[in-house]
Amino acid sequence: VEVAQPGRVKVGDRVVVMPTTPCGKCALCVAGDYIHCENMVDIAGFTGSREGNATYAQYVLKPDWLLSAIPDGVSYERGSLACCALGPSFGAFNTMSLNAFDTVLITGAGPVGLGAIANARFRGARVLVAEMVPWRVERAKALGAAEVIDPRDASAVQQIKDLTQGRGVDC
């Protein structure tokens, strides 16, 4: 909507806003692990107001490096999935080199977990999920989870071993 100074984005750009307000300078930020930054910027201390600090707000204040472009032809709804629904597992699965020869355990089928199921299935991996909320269990199955195990079940670990011929999961 507005830019404070020339940078990587301009008014009218379609972007996904990444979470938190990291410093952008420490080793964690430079390595791309900015969600673990230990030097978060205090927006109120910087601007004199808490305005623009909320996550689910119509307007937020962010440095341009935390604004990822949404490609033409991708809707805002789908572009928004890059942040929490798909982004965390995408990076993790890249780091792990998850592929079709792996079995992955996803613990929890909330928004991030459901995104992880989609990412893992896209890579061809076999997906096991630990979840107890019925609605999420059904969503996990609909997205392609091979099995959903109730983590409250005393035999949950044995179920995983049985499903993996005693090996356990790869990731």
The string of pLDDT tens digits covering residues 70-128 is 999 999 888 877 777 787 888 889 999 999 999 999 999 998 999 999 999 999 999 99
Pairwise pLDDT comparison (68 vs 58), residue with the higher score: 68
Pairwise pLDDT comparison (25 vs 2), residue with the higher score: 25
Helix (H) or strand (E) holding 83: none
**Cα–Cα distance for residue pair 155/122, rounded to 1 Å:** 29
pTM: 0.68
CA distances to 53, 105, 148, 167 from 163, in Å: 45, 11, 11, 9
Question: Which residues lie across from 160 on neighbouring strands?
Answer: none
pLDDT tens by residue, 5-29: 888 999 999 988 888 889 999 999 9
Residue (of 161, 12, 170, 14) closest to 106 by Cα position: 170
Give the pLDDT band of residue 51 (cuts 50, 70, 90).
confident
Give the pLDDT band of residue 55 (cuts 50, 70, 90).
low
